[in-house]
Amino acid sequence: MKAKLVRLIINIYNLKYLLFSILLFFFLGQLKAQENSSVENFAFQSGEKLTFRGYYNWGFLWVAAGEVKLEVKNESYSGKPAYKIEALGRSLKAFDWFFKLRDTISCYVDTTSLKPYYFDRNTNEGDYIARHQYWFDYEKHEIYSKIQKRQKPVKRDTLENKHISSDIVSIAYYTRNLDFSKYKKNEKIPLRMLIDNEVHNLYIRYKGIEDVKLKSGEVYECLKFSPMLVKGHLFQGGEDMTIWVSNDMNRVPIMVEAKVLIGSVKGLLQSYEGLRSTRNSHFKNRSGKVDVD
């Protein structure tokens, strides 16, 4: 019976959805903003590292099940200056014996416009292995995809990209630099996102400013949002997720909570390093830990 319960928790709380949920902290873009040729990046820099701890709740029990790390590096892509943004999702060692997960998502983006050049998702979850790759061609307004799941044949496709679409990583960092002061409480902010070889027109609802107090006693003034979720085998769809992002120049995600088909999940900022701004910031030092246990 205990083994069945553990299996239920791990299967429901698949870390690829934890990673997706944490990245949704950033999904605050709008179509008009994405169509701009450039954006002033004030929110992040090369060397920034963010670590999150993921929890699953069933009844009164919160289980620490996974960890997600996000990192930004200065690199080049096809001879052009680029940021490489990498997200690593993993199960904790206590669960590796039963369900070992090592997911890697990375992308290369232009250092000026933050538009994506290339996106790569490597999925390694138990006995399931898959790879999703996308190349963005802005001259032809197309996205080229290459997808392989398990030992099945490779699938290639070409998607139309007239209105600029972003992958789930690049859009996250692009939208950290948008001006949210112009939005009213409960206003919907549309976005266009590429997920699993399909472009989805979604939105996030801005819910104002709210203080978040962590167990350590630290209080963060945050921008609060509820995203529109895609209905699937984990989410019911609708706005069953709440996101809190620091209301300062860094726009660091602090906490996310979401209902799933059974129970709920939570992601909490655990540590940070290499933040760009200390001016009028919640984060006085460029590195630190947050008590989330």
Q: Tell me, what's the pLDDT at 74?
A: 96
Q: Record the pTM.
A: 0.79
Nearest to 9 by CA among 94, 131, 110: 94
Residue where the block lists tokens 């290459």: 146
Tokens of 254: 């602090």
pLDDT of residue 162: 67
Task: Tell me what the pLDDT averaged over the chain comes to.
Answer: 76
pLDDT tens digit string along 250-292?
988 888 887 766 677 788 888 899 999 877 677 766 677 776 5
Nearest residue to 174 (alpha-carbon basis) of 184, 164, 166, 186: 166
Mean pLDDT, rounded, for 97-126: 84
CB 151, CB 131: distance < 8 Å: no
- Which of 275, 264, 236, 286 has its CA nearest to residue 54? 264
Q: What is the dihedral of CA 261, 256, 189, 112, to 10 degrees?
A: -130
pLDDT at residue 158 greater than cutoff 60: yes
Q: Residue 148 — very low, low, confident or very high, per pLDDT cuts 50/70/90?
A: very high
Calpha distance 133→143 (Å, rounded): 10
Domain range list for the chain: 2-289
